[in-house]
Structure 1
Amino acid sequence: MTSIALAEELLLLAYDDQTGKATGSRIGLDLGMSAAVLVDLALAGRIAYVNGNLVVNDPTPIGDPIADLVLAKAAADEPHTPAQWVQRLRHNLRNRVLQDLIARGVVRDVDETQMGHIHVHRYPTADPAYEAEIRKRLAEALITDAPPDERTAALATLLVATRMEPALRLPPEEAARAHDRLEQIANGAGFSGTVNIEDSIVRPSVALVVATLGRAIQAALGAPKTL
């Protein structure tokens, strides 16, 4: 199966397959999807983290319409910090990603009219194969000690940063171990500051981008609530 964009992977994990409704923090998902677009560009060697900013080092399109639009804007604009980029990109990004998924038959748009005139949209799964592949990759990363590929390591890091771990739908007795493993993956990839970037399991250039985006998301979300 052809891989899909990281932003699409986050969205599919966050939306309930049957109800078609988003679960968890909406702002966390939006910030995570913004970061995911930038991570895809970093994985493709198009952007890098230089002197506190994300800069374009290759303006060649990667073939994804949303990522390519962001790349073109970044190439024509002045450099911005990771924190500035995730805030700039998150507005209307979710709707654009949903429309792309609808057009490709991955999710359905269920338009329900309430009170005679209020339209409420749900997006249940139409083709479960895409999400199944995502969850299979994550499950393999969680149950083995082998380092995952760059893309899966980045996805694991974004799940932690956005506090989307409940989207894994694990029973309580497994959730804590999964959290530890996700953090271990992030640390081993050099995304969390506890491992030297040069010792990262991914390319240092990618590790720098993901690490700074993860910190930007966590700063935007603030301290997690405690009971």
Structure 2
Amino acid sequence: MTGVALAEELLLLAYDDETGRATMPRISLDLGMAAAVLVELALAGRIAYADGSLTVTDPTPVGEPIIDGVLGRMAADTPHSPSSWVQRLRHGLRDRILGDLVARGVVRDVEETELGFIVVHRYPVADSSVEDDTRRRLADALAGGQVSDERTAALATLVAVLRMEPALGLTGDAGADARRRLEEIAGGAGFSGNVSLDDSVVRPSVGLVVAALARAVDQALGKRA
């Protein structure tokens, strides 16, 4: 695997660059990042969705410690549903990814004390280039036209499921328009059932995993019966 992981992209979008604080409910972000790690494994050809479960099809590490840790955990366990895996993986994942981003100089770890005894950490951006690229790709996708790669389509789908339009700086009518466009991207990629996976821009194996994880996160957040 090369480049920036989807879970890192989600996290950077969700944290305010200046204050270094999360701008969305942390349970939503934690579930989304867990789903993003699983999508990453699908993109790398390591897991598949079949018979209601996510299974490891290739245990070969991808070269990223956090993602490989999840892969090893899945390979050592029995298959579980997407809902089960996002719940199992979400605990502590954000802190590990933040630590990795701090080590790479993407964000800073600012430790503060509130009320005289409560220690809190903020993570303002230190190197904006990573997030800038993510925002540019999403902006290009929202502007119209066809999404040309699986990764951007998967990212747009996760952003839609997590209702992250405000994190893109879009509210009101602009936010509503962005949400419609994000859903169109998800549909056009075959993630929402609107387009046959055979006609999608993504591999069917990836499409099945993303669609299953999107449903799992949506249901976990109580947004769909």
Normalised by the length of structure 1, the TM-score is 0.95
Contact 2:190 2:200 in 1 (8 A): yes
- Matched with 1:219 is 219
Equivalents in 1 of 2:16, 2:141: separation in Å?
22
Unaligned residue ranges in structure 2 (runs of 5+): none
8 Å CA contact 1:186–1:192 kept in 2: the answer is yes
Q: Per the alignment, in what secondary structure is the counterpart of residue 211 of structure 2?
A: helix
Equivalents in 2 of 1:114, 1:106: separation in Å?
25
Distance (Å, rounded) in 2 between the aligned partners of 1:135 and 1:42: 23
CA-CA distance at 1:113 after TM superposition: 1.2
Equivalents in 1 of 2:117, 2:110: separation in Å?
15
Aligned partner of residue 55 in structure 2, secondary structure: strand
Other-structure match for 1:133: 133
In the aligned structure 2, how far is the partner of 1:80 from the partner of 1:148? 31
* Between 84-93 and 158-167, the greater mean CA deviation after superposition: 158-167
SS in 1 for 2:87: helix
Give the match for residue 65 of structure 1: 65
Letter in 1 for 2:114: Q
Between the aligned partners of 2:23 and 2:129, the Cα distance in structure 1 is 20
Q: Which residue of 2 aligns with 1:13?
A: 13
Contact 2:165 2:171 in 1 (8 A): no
Q: Which amino acid aligns with 2:162?
A: T
TM-score computed with the length of structure 2 as normaliser: 0.96
Q: CA deviation at 1:200?
A: 1.4
Displacement, 1:15? Answer: 0.1
Q: Matches of 1:124 and 1:102 in 2, distance apart? A: 10
Report the Cα distance in structure 2 between the residues aligned to 1:214 and 1:90, rounded to whole angstroms: 15
1:171 shift after superposition: 4.9
Distance in 2 (alpha carbons) for counterparts of 1:166 and 1:186: 18
- CA drift of 1:88 comes to 0.2
Separation in 1 of the partners of 2:131 and 2:44? 22
Contact 1:14 1:167 in 2 (8 A): yes
- What amino acid does structure 2 have at the position aligned with 1:55? T
Q: Distance in 2 between matches of 1:59 and 1:192?
A: 28
Distance, in Å, in 2 between the alignment partners of 1:190 and 1:25 is: 27
* CA drift at 1:132: 0.3
The amino acid that maps onto 1:212 is A
Matched, 1:184 2:196: no
Contact 1:83-1:217 within 8 A present in 2 as well: yes
Distance 1:223 1:93 in 2: 23
Percent identical residues: 65
> Who is 1:116 aligned against?
116
